[in-house]
Structure 1
Amino acid sequence: MTEEKKTRPSVQELPLLPLRGILVFPYMVIHLDVGRERSVSAIDQAMLQNRLIFLATQKEAQTDQPRQEEIYRVGTIAEIKQLLKLPGGTLRVLVEGLARAEILEYLETEPFMQVRAQEHEDVEIKTPAVEAQMRALLTQFEQYVKMSKKIPPETFVTVVAVEEPGRLADIVASHLTLKTLEKQRVLEALDVAERLEILTEVLTKEMEILELERKINVRVRKQMEKTQKEYYLREQIKAIQKELGDKDDRVAESEELREKIAKAKLPKEIEEKALREVDRLEKMPPMVAEATVVRNYLDWLLALPWSKQTKDRMDIDKAEQVLNEDHYGLEKPKERIIEYLAIRKLVQKMKGPILCLVGPPGVGKTSLARSIARALDRKFVRLSLGGVRDEAEIRGHRRTYIGAMPGRIIQGMRNAGSKNPLFLLDEIDKMSMDFRGDPSSALLEVLDPEQNSTFSDHFIEVPFDLSRVMFITTANGMHNIPRPLLDRMETIYIPGYTEEEKLHIATDYLIPKQIKEHGLKKDQIQISENTVRRIIREYTREAGVRNLEREIGSLCRKSARAIVKEPQKKISISSGNLPTYLGIPRYRFGLAETESQIGLATGLAWTEVGGDTLAIEVALLAGKGSLALTGKLGDVMKESAHAGMTYVRSKTKALGIAENFHQSTDVHIHVPEGAIPKDGPSAGITMATALTSALTGRAVRREVAMTGEITLRGRVLPVGGIKEKVLAAHRAGCTTVIMPADNKKDLEDVPANIRRKLRFVLVEHMDQVLPEALLEPEKVEMPEPPETIPALVEAPPLTPLAVPMEEVPGYQQS
């Protein structure tokens, strides 16, 4: 080979064979499998010439047709020693590396790559420094061979016999298991001393890795020996116990579980599942993590009330008595529960109803559910859904997860201890969803009477019957409840309490409860009825009674403090001395305006905490006819204002307003309490009335409140929340309520004592609103209303305010 090397020119034109994931050093003999079309052509060309071929490695092994820049420039000139054709067109080539070379230029790329390569000869000068590097490399290579055990010892004997430094480095590099980038680094080191230094550095790093592997293997082997030893000792203990007649802990645990399963009277399918799990547990080693999971699963299976249930109280009179003891009013929910009991008395097996109690905070939704459970003599379970975002909270986690547990529904059934409890799902409108799933969709199966007899929990994995459970849900509003979920529930709306109802609740329930909770006696504190009425009017403004209870609690606290100082003292709280206990009144009772004013009308609105009044103000300014809307109004409310303006402009002649007012007058509509968002169509007729009042100079009657949606042509459309709005009007001191005629049916929900105190005007058109709402120009105040107010007044027929449609601006007859 030395003679060939001498006769070979230093620059040669050779076919190029790109290598994938492999690198050939000089003096290295290796088999290569060649299958790519260009590579096969390069081999054929080399065989036709002098069997010499240039081998260079690709930078990316995945590239099938590498370009020039994707191949390393330094490679190896090799000689093809043997060629074998394999089935499928693949060639197996035996090559021997001859010398390093560097690509000077690419001559051809098709049908194969042809390059001009510059051969680099090693300068074999053995200086003392090179000799020292060779010895250090041999010492490290010897240690590497001993530690790796992947290289046969005979290889080291062959390597020791090599005297040339460059050849020694190449042979050592060819035997190391290195990454392609590291091998290429060695190949590109043309200087022999540099090559030896790189190899010494690489060998040091490889030996550190081998030492770490050895330590890990020793540690694993010791752990395995310890486990095998423990297993052997346990088997010996089992054999000894068997000879002595003692029971193994696992066997004893399995027998105990089987006895529990037999006593639990589980359904056949559940019993078979439990017994299978016991068999699995018995075969597992006690320390295995899976054994803990199986034990936990069996505990849950046995703790659930598969066949236990309580007997319903079928005495309708007794149930009605219990409901009346706990709550005043709430006739519809009570009536629904009595109906359920009556049906249960006639039909033994009945699917549990799903009731949804909707109402403002503090009206007693949760406490009503607790009272229903007491009336039925059922177990009571409460689950708060506020803020629940994970579907697993409802359906549970699968047992493959660490720390898996059943969902809150199954947990509640276990806590109840019976299969027919009353299950309260509180705040169902406060659920949300995120990337972990949609809990409201998981509730669809729970709250569907047709599906919940086979409710599937991910942890339990067997169907559980929820059909006998009486589900009651609570919500502050229905708009946040998904429509499919709402469809599965029977909605009962609890709008709020009247002043008289609050008075009864405070007298019969809240005051005795707070006196007891504060450690007082009935004869130590006395709160008069007028005091309670003043608290309701001037210290609270709510649909429920939560703040009322807080104020009564405050009275009890202050009384308790005085009684502790003087034990014999008796506290009497009257309407006159109430401010000394609760401070100055927070609200003004009777919010109706003290006098009728121009451009100021009282509207009625619905909120989540009950009804409320809106004072809508209109001011006229000299300008160019712009319309300004303030008070943080929503889009729907702004549209109502524009609709009211259009109606007024269409009636300028009938109302006695200048026809071109919209060109010279700016109109500003404002709804006070500007920090509170307001929206909805209910203020349509109120805005139109206030606008008409400002433009005509006729004052709006101070005792009139109104609600209704307005159209462009003045029609009055029905709105919602009539009961809450009427209660708000009564609370504000209004005596007349103008409302859409289509809402007449909703007056049945208004308590009779409130209906008797108010006068209702049912209207279909804006032309019927204005005569009732506006004073005559010469009048300043309405006379005092008579003592007896007619409960219901049909709207007068259309007044002369109405004009033919032909006179409406922009009207064209089709």
Structure 2
Amino acid sequence: MAMSEELLEVKDKSEEVVPERLPILPLRNMVLYPELVMPLHVERAGSIKLIDDVVPGELSMVVVAQRDRQVENPGPSDFYDVGTIGNVMKLVKQTDGSYQIIVRAKQKVRLSDIRAKGNYFDARIEVLPEDTSTSPEIEAMVLNLRTQFEKLVEMANLPTELATLSLNLDRPIQLVYVVAANLSLTVAERQTILELPDIYTALERTTFYLTRQLDQLELVQKIQEKVKAGMDRRQREYFLREQLQVIKRELGESEEKNPEIQELLDRLDQVQMPPEVLTAAEKEIERLGRISPAAAEYTVSRNYLDWLLELPWKVSTQDTLDVREAAKILDEDHFDLEKVKRRILEYLAVLQLKKDLKGPILCFVGPPGVGKTSLGQSIARSLGRKFLRISLGGLRDEAELRGHRRTYVGALPGRIIQGLRRIGSNNPVFMLDEIDKLGMDFRGDPSSALLEVLDPEQNSTFSDHYLGVPFDLSRIIFVATANMLDPIPSALRDRMEVIELPGYTEEEKLQIARKFLVVRQIENHGLKTDQVIIPDETILEIIHSYTREAGVRNLDRNLAALCRFVAKDIAEGKDGPVTIRPENCKEILGPVRFLPETATRSWGPGISTGLAWTPSGGELIFVEALRTHGRGNLTLTGQLGAVMKESVAAALTYIRAHASDLGIDEEKFEKSDIHVHVPAGGIPKDGPSAGVAMVVALASLMSQREVRRNVAMTGEITLRGDVLPVGGIKEKMLAARRAGIREVMIPQANAKDLMEIPQHLREGMVFHELQIIMDALEIALVPPQAVGGK
């Protein structure tokens, strides 16, 4: 009966605009009262879809109880007519796909015109006014309710803060809802209180339920006193029997050993353990023999022994490592990635020569869908080891890695120890997926726990809180994956060797689709290779018009859609083979999703093409500048971060300082307002890459000289006119290639990064190296005598 809701300070309800219709979140066995907060576990498919739709937009929903809690999929007739508007304050997604949410309640509303909306329902709502009437009778009932509630708090061992809270509530209806939320009531009784229209009836009904519960508690106390008197006698007999057992053991007259204890001893003889662990296990078995099987501690101790006996302390797989065979496996599983494969083969070669290698932890960093996880699987396959993967995305509790101490109810080892027990080997290839998405809160810092796991000098004595004895992790090959490096703490990043996977070109995507994706999707959909033909032109059409990504995940999904279309035709009796032409893509996949980025832009002075790096690979950004009559004001739009705002300010200052060199009338700056906009304004944008694009756009605007369309640029600037180096050169170059741009301006200091790009990717590309800003302006701006852009 512990209170799971708390009172909130709410704003004036008259200020809130309530939508005409809201989605419905049904509750099985509870009622949400206005102005309270309630934790909820959402596991039904329709409710999960509702949370997915509501939370991203921070919208409201109607929380309403259902009449019969046994109904799994309630319909309009199963809902009560009165509910409460709620907002999701916090959301945590569980591993099974369900949600743990905290909902803040607002106004009480009446539902009508309930309609299905996909997997859930929505309804027309009418806000029910609050009865604020007062009278001497109401004041007396409020005083009585507070007094009785203070008595309930004391008798039921509720938090004492509830009594204090009840004294500080100004409105009677608030007191009614707080008291009702902490009473043991049925759903129908709770709903009755919510639906009562006037405060007098609500106080009267709540007082009745409170008095009934107090009477029950008083009766329970009397029964407990009677039972305690009998328990004292039985407890005395229990202690005497225990003393008798001890006396018999001292005299050598002890009874035969518990068969369960003998079974544990037999298993202990068969398991190879380090001496320290063996000693701990023997002591725990001895302790278990002294505990009564009926005691709660017996189960806790038995579970602990099962964990000790089932862990692979000295069980490992035999490596079947051959570097040439490993190279063949990597080539079979992955296309291109030559640099990454070479580093993996170097790692495996050293491991083949030095069996006890304590080498670096490899961390694959790159956008989604470039093959980071499958690289770990290929390493395990080439070694002949088992593969173990855990996802760290959103993990916030340190105990998830180190385990809970056995003093807690339901304690378990951490996910590392659980995984080792599951696969039965102490030397797997262990992949720590999404290491950049670790969280941290009051429950600890999981990234700090990983410092010990990933340190070759420390992980031989890894200590799990549940086990209480060290486990040797040094034989495990740890591999990590991340989308970006910045969120990883520097101390943890120092433990790992970063290998970047920047993304694929269109040619590489075509080869990957032809060699891997198409074959796999044909097999997954029950088809044969002679039943479906997907030409290269069709794959290229999907790459150009239906995907825009660094990896191949969306390409794989679209190929699956083609195979489903063919599978339907084959199942209906159509004879194969079915050939899917590029023109069939619109029928199967729908309208074209992506047009060439430069084709959708109108061109003229004041617009430039920049290059930016994102966790999903490189992207084009367009910088637009426009001048109006004004007084020298600067307006920035497009969700720009602090770094990009500083870049615009620096670019404008540089242009003003060099106006005469650029043939710009200086009076234009004093008589003009300048507006700089980076489209896709709903997307936050920041980073030290757009300085050159900003200065080129402003110079183009003020000099009325267009920027060449077939040139993209990246680099940061200084007030003195220098062009500074930036990161992500390969990703940005790939973004330019995807957009059909073949000339790229990069900082001169980044020229060395071009050596990291394979020769076949650089073919047909022209790279201009920038040392100062004037270099960029000479290359990008169309000469004054030219008409139009190139």
TM norm. shorter chain > 0.5: yes
Aligned to 1:355: 362
Number of residue equivalences: 572
SS in 2 for 1:618: strand
Residue 215 of structure 1 and its aligned partner are, at CA, apart by 2.0
- Does 2:701 correspond to 1:694? yes
Equivalent-residue separation in structure 1 for 2:239 and 2:724 (angstroms)? 85
Aligned to 1:708: 715
Aligned to 2:332: 325
Aligned to 1:286: 293
Residue 631 of structure 1 and its aligned partner are, at CA, apart by 1.0
- Does 2:263 correspond to 1:219? no
> What do residues 591-634 of structure 1 show as CA deviations (whole Å, max 9, x unaligned)?
36788631111110111111011111111111111111111111
- Does 2:551 correspond to 1:549? no
Q: 2:386 aligned to 379, 391, 405, which one?
A: 379
Q: 1:776 aligned to 771, 776, 783, which one?
A: 783
1:551 corresponds to which letter in structure 2? Answer: N
- Does 2:464 correspond to 1:457? yes
Residue 291 of structure 1 and its aligned partner are, at CA, apart by 2.1
Aligned to 1:402: 409
SS in 2 for 1:621: strand
2:659 corresponds to which letter in structure 1? Answer: T
- Does 2:662 correspond to 1:655? yes
Matches within 5 A, 1:98-177: none
- More off after superposition, 483-492 vs 228-237: 228-237
Residue 445 of structure 1 and its aligned partner are, at CA, apart by 0.6
Residue 216 of structure 1 and its aligned partner are, at CA, apart by 4.3
Contact 2:630/2:673 (<8 A) preserved: yes
Residue 737 of structure 1 and its aligned partner are, at CA, apart by 0.4
> What do residues 19-41 of structure 1 show as CA deviations (whole Å, max 9, x unaligned)?
xxxxxxxxxxxxxxxxxxxxxxx
1:620 corresponds to which letter in structure 2? Answer: R
Residue 526 of structure 1 and its aligned partner are, at CA, apart by 0.5
Q: How has the CA–CA distance of structure 1 residues 590 and 438 changed in structure 2, closer, same or farther, with 3 Å as cutoff?
A: closer
> What do residues 725-765 of structure 1 show as CA deviations (whole Å, max 9, x unaligned)?
00111111112101100001111222322211110000100
Contact 2:647/2:716 (<8 A) preserved: yes
Contact 1:563/1:570 (<8 A) preserved: no
Aligned to 1:507: 514
Equivalent-residue separation in structure 1 for 2:644 and 2:220 (angstroms)? 75
Equivalent-residue separation in structure 1 for 2:224 and 2:655 (angstroms)? 91
Aligned to 2:620: 613
Equivalent-residue separation in structure 1 for 2:598 and 2:666 (angstroms)? 35
1:757 corresponds to which letter in structure 2? Answer: G
2:524 corresponds to which letter in structure 1? Answer: E
SS in 1 for 2:763: helix
Contact 2:360/2:495 (<8 A) preserved: no
Matches within 5 A, 1:480-629: 480-589=487-596, 591=598, 597-629=604-636
Q: How has the CA–CA distance of structure 1 residues 213 and 305 changed in structure 2, closer, same or farther, with 3 Å as cutoff?
A: closer
Equivalent-residue separation in structure 2 for 1:221 and 1:215 (angstroms)? 10
Equivalent-residue separation in structure 2 for 1:685 and 1:339 (angstroms)? 39
SS in 1 for 2:282: helix
2:234 corresponds to which letter in structure 1? Answer: Q
1:224 corresponds to which letter in structure 2? Answer: Q
Residue 274 of structure 1 and its aligned partner are, at CA, apart by 1.3
Residue 242 of structure 1 and its aligned partner are, at CA, apart by 8.2
1:438 corresponds to which letter in structure 2? Answer: D
1:738 corresponds to which letter in structure 2? Answer: M
2:577 corresponds to which letter in structure 1? Answer: K
2:231 corresponds to which letter in structure 1? Answer: V
Residue 262 of structure 1 and its aligned partner are, at CA, apart by 2.0
> What do residues 556-596 of structure 1 show as CA deviations (whole Å, max 9, x unaligned)?
11111111112424311112322222122111136367886
Aligned to 2:317: 310
Aligned to 2:89: none
Aligned to 1:476: 483
- Does 2:650 correspond to 1:643? yes
Q: How has the CA–CA distance of structure 1 residues 643 and 219 changed in structure 2, closer, same or farther, with 3 Å as cutoff?
A: same
Aligned to 2:426: 419
Q: 2:308 aligned to 290, 295, 301, which one?
A: 301
Calculate the TM-score normalised by the size of structure 1.
0.67
SS in 2 for 1:653: coil
- Does 2:758 correspond to 1:751? yes
Query: Which sections of structure 2, spanning at least 5 residues, go unmatched?
Result: 1-217
SS in 2 for 1:325: helix
Calculate the TM-score normalised by the size of structure 2.
0.69
Considering only CA atoms, is the larger Rg found in Structure 1 or Structure 2? 1
Residue 636 of structure 1 and its aligned partner are, at CA, apart by 0.8
Residue 237 of structure 1 and its aligned partner are, at CA, apart by 13
> What do residues 493-524 of structure 1 show as CA deviations (whole Å, max 9, x unaligned)?
11111111111111111111111111111111
Equivalent-residue separation in structure 1 for 2:363 and 2:246 (angstroms)? 60
Equivalent-residue separation in structure 1 for 2:748 and 2:768 (angstroms)? 8
Residue 492 of structure 1 and its aligned partner are, at CA, apart by 1.0
Q: 1:681 aligned to 665, 684, 688, which one?
A: 688
- Does 2:271 correspond to 1:260? no
Matches within 5 A, 1:176-195: none
Q: How has the CA–CA distance of structure 1 residues 566 and 495 changed in structure 2, closer, same or farther, with 3 Å as cutoff?
A: same
Q: How has the CA–CA distance of structure 1 residues 594 and 384 changed in structure 2, closer, same or farther, with 3 Å as cutoff?
A: closer
Equivalent-residue separation in structure 1 for 2:782 and 2:755 (angstroms)? 30
2:511 corresponds to which letter in structure 1? Answer: H
SS in 2 for 1:366: helix
SS in 2 for 1:419: coil
> What do residues 270-289 of structure 1 show as CA deviations (whole Å, max 9, x unaligned)?
21221122221222222222
SS in 1 for 2:284: helix
Aligned to 1:274: 281
Equivalent-residue separation in structure 1 for 2:421 and 2:429 (angstroms)? 13
Contact 1:454/1:464 (<8 A) preserved: yes
2:435 corresponds to which letter in structure 1? Answer: I
Contact 2:610/2:622 (<8 A) preserved: yes
Equivalent-residue separation in structure 1 for 2:700 and 2:348 (angstroms)? 56
